[in-house]
Amino acid sequence: MSSEQRGLNDSLSVPSNKALSSNEPLTRLAGAFKSASGALGEVLMPRTCPCCAVPVAYGAGSPLCEQCLPQLRSALVRVERVQVLQPLDGAVVPEVRAASRYEGMMPRALLALKNAGRTDLLPLLGEGLARSVYELLRAHRVELQSVPGSSISSAGTSAAPVEVLLVPAPSSAQSVRRRGYAPANLLVQEAARQLNQRLPASVQVRAVDVIGYAPRRWRGSGASFSSHTGSSLLGVSLLGASEAKNEQKSLGAVGRAERMHGALRVMEPALCAGRLSVICDDVVTTGATASEMVRVLQDAGSRVLGVCAVAAVPKKLLT
């Protein structure tokens, strides 16, 4: 078992098989503990650092231990531009920014949020996303100033602030049911909350969860979509969103981009038309999901400023 897995399993720690076989009541007790969720689980099981599994004292004020907290903080402060997107058909590639590289303790922290219910990491990881968005907005300040009727462009009058939409990557309905929450959506809400406290009054951000997986009958609109799945019938994909995601893990960058083509849709196009938006995700790997999000948002009439993530798997780092 890797230290990563150990960290994730620790919050649900169950005695070894040997101990179980010699102690039946303990089995039932451990089962009860394991099924305990939320506050009850936290009370019954010792709180551990999601990055190294060391117990963290009650009232420590941080989800991480004293060693990991400064390391994770410093891993999140340097926002980098990353080249990860694999465009199809010569599509315009927006810039991607990430607060951290997906290495070191970052995978452990993000997987703990996604798969082990560690929503107590949201303030820290949300701050990373907020930094990433802040740097993107700063780089596009001239564009923000050119938005008609904005208080920036009308020199300090009482015009409305420019509102930039922060759009989280979608979660499948199945994964939301399994986890009980959508990690990317929670991260974006946290980042928006932090950003609106720090941005000048002339710019505000708003988290809008408007992109979802397209119904299966819609898919297959991508030209080479069906040729890669091997499981489509007359251009209609038989795969659900989670199956698509699992299959995506085994595909290369180009395969993933083609696989995602036509897989997403904007659920409220009227909300996005004519608006500035930033695509947000926890991790950007090949950029296939982000690239498809850009495409559907642009189709809905939104001006996509870029893609921001807590962490990116580095391919080529630009500056």
51 binds Zn ion (CB under 5 A): yes
The number of angstroms, rounded, from the C-alpha of 19 to the middle of its chain's C-alpha atoms is 39
Positions 289 through 318 that interact with Zn ion (CB under 5 A): none
One-letter amino acid for residue 108 of the chain: R
106 binds Zn ion (CB under 5 A): no
Nearer to Zn ion, 52 or 266 (CB): 52
- Using CB under 5 A as the criterion, what x/- string covers residues 9-28 for binding Zn ion? --------------------
Q: Rounded to the nearest whole angstrom, what is the least distance from the CB of residue 67 to Zn ion in the complex?
A: 5
Residue 28 burial (CB count, 10 A):
10
Using the 8-state DSSP alphabet, how is residue 55 labeled? B
The piece of 19-27, 67-75, 205-213, 308-316 that touches Zn ion (CB under 5 A) is 67-75
Nearer to Zn ion, 52 or 182 (CB): 52
Dist. CA 300–CA 267, nearest whole Å: 10
The piece of 16-24, 47-55, 130-138, 212-220 that touches Zn ion (CB under 5 A) is 47-55
112 binds Zn ion (CB under 5 A): no
Dist. CA 44–CA 34, nearest whole Å: 10
116 binds Zn ion (CB under 5 A): no
What end-to-end distance do the CA atoms of the chain give, in Å? 37
Dist. CA 212–CA 77, nearest whole Å: 30
Positions 179 through 218 that interact with Zn ion (CB under 5 A): none
Positions 242 through 271 that interact with Zn ion (CB under 5 A): none
65 binds Zn ion (CB under 5 A): yes
The piece of 42-50, 179-187, 211-219, 280-288 that touches Zn ion (CB under 5 A) is 42-50
Q: Which residue is listed with tokens 């904007």? A: 266
Dist. CA 161–CA 205, nearest whole Å: 10
When binding is defined by CB under 5 A, the residue of 11, 48, 49, 278 that contacts Zn ion is 49
Residue count at the site for Zn ion (CB under 5 A)?
5
Q: Is the dihedral of CA 208, 282, 37, 61 positive or negative?
A: negative
Nearer to Zn ion, 49 or 106 (CB): 49
Q: Rounded to the nearest whole angstrom, what is the least distance from the CB of residue 54 to Zn ion in the complex?
A: 5
Using the 8-state DSSP alphabet, how is residue 121 labeled? G
Dist. CA 134–CA 78, nearest whole Å: 12
When binding is defined by CB under 5 A, the residue of 52, 116, 162, 264 that contacts Zn ion is 52
Nearer to Zn ion, 1 or 155 (CB): 1
Contacts of 191 (CB under 8 A, 6+ apart): 126, 127, 129, 130, 133, 166, 205, 207, 280
Nearer to Zn ion, 65 or 191 (CB): 65
Q: Rounded to the nearest whole angstrom, what is the least distance from the CB of residue 63 to Zn ion in the complex?
A: 9
Nearer to Zn ion, 68 or 211 (CB): 68
Q: Rounded to the nearest whole angstrom, what is the least distance from the CB of residue 69 to Zn ion in the complex?
A: 8
| CA angle in degrees (0–180, nearest 5) for 85-87-92 | 95
E strand or H helix that includes residue 292: helix 288-299
One-letter amino acid for residue 98 of the chain: A
Q: Interface residues with Zn ion (CB under 5 A)?
A: 49, 51-52, 65, 68
